[in-house]
Amino acid sequence: MLYGRDLLTLLDLSPDEIRYLINLSIKFKRREISESLYKHIAGRTVVLFFEKPSTRTRLSLEVACHHLGLRPIYVSATTTQLARGEPIEDFARVVDRYVDAIVARVYSHKTLEMMAKYADAPVINALSDLYHPLQAIADLMTIKEKFGRLEGIKICFVGDVDNNVAHSLTIGALKLGLEMRLTGPKKYWPSKEFMEKMKEIASQTGGRIIITDDPKEGVKDVHVIYTDVWVSMGQEKEREERIKIFRPYQVNSRLAANADPNYIFMHCLPRHRGEEVSDDVFESSHSMVFDQAENRLHSAKAVLSAILSESMK
């Protein structure tokens, strides 16, 4: 189904392909996948190219590679000739001669598109400024794991709704026909083009997209409350302004009281303590953040095996 393909954004996947990766992730976690389906990829090499620092993404991918018998090579951009001005298209064509897959965590999504254009090996997005598809797959896996279903689930992303995590979760949720709410200050809403695309997807799948600057309205009766940091990497100069603007969007027990009584709280981590989420929610029984973090490992195995193993199709 996904053998040999790039994974730059969930926009490139059909609803059935997203469901396939979610279900495959769950099967890996339950150890229901026979090694015979992927043992032939043992020994293949995967480069993990990172321009940005990471904890969960790097570790989950390295461990996933080892579990699948792959050989991961971690490469920091600062240790390559890119740091001295080598064109990305040259870098991609060289690396392509050495490895079986390229996993890249980059500042600009255009870098991934250039890699995919010039490398024959599949390119996997491990985060860009626009999308974080591996995170969204793990998130949707977590939601299905906790509720036993995805059908009928309402999700609200609170805070900075124009970041890569919010983009990818919105795409995935709408492609699966869910209700996705984006709740944040109007200044930080997604572009008109993005919202029009999301409405188009929703019209095709039966999903629903809602955007509001009222946090109580946003989380009312939802099953999932999701948030992320207010100041992402590269936005440090905007820190004071952002914290002031986003303060009314902190996820705390007062806000969460408007959600479904059995709601779950999600956060892709790392968090900034005392900012986007209060401890009374983060440390509560509603919080699934560490199950969510664990699921990055299982979804990484699903993506790598689906792309590298022809028998997984």
Active site residues per annotation: 105, 132, 135, 228, 268, 296
Distances (CA, A) of 269 to 35, 36, 232, 277: 31, 34, 11, 11
Q: Give the phi and the psi of residue 69 in degrees, each rounded to 5.
A: 85, 10
How many C-beta atoms lie closer than 10 Å to residue 58's C-beta?
A: 17
DSSP assignment letter at 283: T
Q: Answer whether the bond into residue 270 is a cis peptide, omega within 30°.
A: yes
Rounded-to-integer distance, Cα 102 and Cα 5, Å? 11
Distances (CA, A) of 216 to 42, 93, 181, 258, 293: 50, 50, 12, 6, 27
Q: Which residues contact 32 (CB under 8 A, 6 or more apart)?
A: none
